[in-house]
């Protein structure tokens, strides 16, 4: 057998010995398993702490009212344009309901007030216009205005600027009418002016009803706002107190559970540490077993070296390993 084959056999024998030794070590499941248990028990204790911190944060009931809104407001301040506007709108939805309903009520009261003021201004303006229209209607009847003058008045009151060529066309059209046609058209225009005055009168009465309705609504809403404003602070205080009491009870109930879980977790870690302590004595580096293993390794190497020098074949002796029991 050549030297290459001898080296190959020796390598195979060494690999087989290592596999056998590892199998023996693995079957005992002592040191590595114990190390893993130590690590896992430490991780379990760390997770227990993390879980309880999260639980206690969740138990702060009042923070539920504040944190989401604070976060969204922060985003609204940092993001530009529509994105920032969107988050501002979302943050408004998370306002304290007492603040939000008070702001909305005040906003509606302001809107009603503006509406009533606008209605009053329109009514006054239209009353003045109606007075002028009545006087003009009486004048055109008494003075017997002709068709062209009445038409000019209607167009002017409508705010229309009549082109000169259009005036010429009207004059031509009037020339084609018979006296009876002229009188009929003149009567239609006067009737239209009279009817329009009645429509204006009725529409002003309608606006009067709207103004009254607005005033009544404003009055009721103001009374309701006064009642809410007078009592909201008490209810807010009651709400905050109730949340504090509930949060305190949550923490109080959690104390026993947390204490028990920590006690169990710490005891488990300590027990595992004791198991490790007992195994350490059996796995000391400075031991007679280590001395024996070093001597055995030296003897094997010397034997193989002497054989290699003298040209003799030497059979590899398997290394014995002692199992360590926990």
d(CA 234, CA 216): 28
Is residue 314 left, alpha or beta, with left meaning phi > 0 and alpha meaning psi from -120 to 50? beta
Token reading at 101: 């309903």
For residue 271, the model assigns a pLDDT of 82
**14 vs 118 pLDDT, higher one:** 118
For residue 269, the model assigns a pLDDT of 81
Token reading at 307: 């054989």
pLDDT tens digits for range 261-272: 888 888 888 888
Buried b (16+ CB within 10 A) or exposed e, 157-191: eeeeeeeeeeeeeeeeeeeeeeeeeeeeebeebee
Write down the residue that tokens 């009042």 correspond to: 62
Asked whether the predicted pLDDT for residue 6 surpasses 50, the reply is: no
Low-confidence winner among 9-23, 92-106, 189-203, 305-319 (lowest mean pLDDT): 9-23
Spell out the residues 6+ positions from residue 94 whose beta carbon is closer than 8 angstroms to its own: 68, 69, 72
For residue 171, the model assigns a pLDDT of 86
Q: Write the CA distances from 154 to 143, 148, 160, integer angstroms.
A: 16, 10, 9
| Cβ–Cβ < 8 Å for 324, 283 | yes
pLDDT > 70 in the chain, percent: 67
* ∠ Cα 142 146 151 (to 5°): 110
pLDDT tens digits for range 130-155: 999 999 999 999 999 998 899 888 88
Provide the residue ranges of all domains of the chain, joining segments of one domain with +: 1-32+284-326, 60-95, 97-230
pLDDT tens digits for range 55-71: 655 544 444 444 455 55
| Cβ–Cβ < 8 Å for 59, 250 | yes
Asked whether the predicted pLDDT for residue 156 surpasses 90, the reply is: no
CATH number of 97-230: 1.10.287
What does pTM read for this prediction? 0.49
pLDDT tens digits for range 92-101: 555 677 887 8
């Amino acid at each position: 057998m050549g030297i290459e084959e001898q080296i190959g056999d020796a390598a195979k024998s060494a690999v087989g010995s290592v596999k056998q030794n590892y199998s023996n070590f693995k079957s005992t499941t002592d040191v590595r398993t114990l190390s893993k248990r130590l690590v896992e028990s430490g991780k379990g204790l760390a997770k227990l702490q993390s879980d309880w911190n999260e639980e206690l944060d969740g138990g702060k009931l009042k923070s539920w009212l504040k944190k989401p809104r604070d976060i969204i407001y922060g985003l609204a301040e940092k993001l530009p344009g529509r994105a920032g506007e969107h988050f501002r709108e979302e943050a408004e939805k998370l306002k304290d309901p007492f603040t939000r309903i008070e702001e909305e009520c005040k906003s509606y009261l302001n809107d009603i007030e503006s509406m009533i003021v606008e209605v009053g201004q329109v009514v006054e303006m239209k009353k003045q216009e109606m007075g002028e229209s009545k006087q003009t209607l009486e004048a055109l009847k008494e003075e017997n205005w002709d068709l062209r003058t009445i038409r000019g008045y209607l167009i002017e009151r409508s705010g229309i600027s009549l082109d000169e060529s259009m005036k010429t066309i009207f004059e031509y059209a009037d020339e084609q009418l018979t006296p009876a046609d002229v009188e009929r058209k003149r009567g239609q225009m006067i009737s239209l002016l009279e009817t329009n005055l009645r429509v204006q009168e009725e529409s002003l009465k309608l606006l009067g009803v709207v103004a009254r309705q607005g005033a009544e609504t404003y009055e009721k809403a103001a009374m309701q706002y006064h009642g809410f404003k007078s009592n909201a602070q008490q209810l807010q205080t009651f709400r905050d107190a109730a949340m504090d009491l509930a949060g305190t009870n949550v923490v109080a109930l959690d104390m026993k559970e947390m204490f028990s879980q920590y006690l169990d977790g710490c005891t488990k870690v300590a027990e595992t540490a004791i198991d490790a302590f007992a195994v350490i004595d059996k796995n000391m580096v400075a031991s007679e077993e280590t001395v024996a293993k070093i001597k055995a390794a030296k003897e094997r190497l010397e034997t193989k070296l002497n054989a290699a020098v003298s040209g003799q074949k030497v059979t590899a002796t398997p290394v014995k390993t002692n199992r360590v029991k926990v």
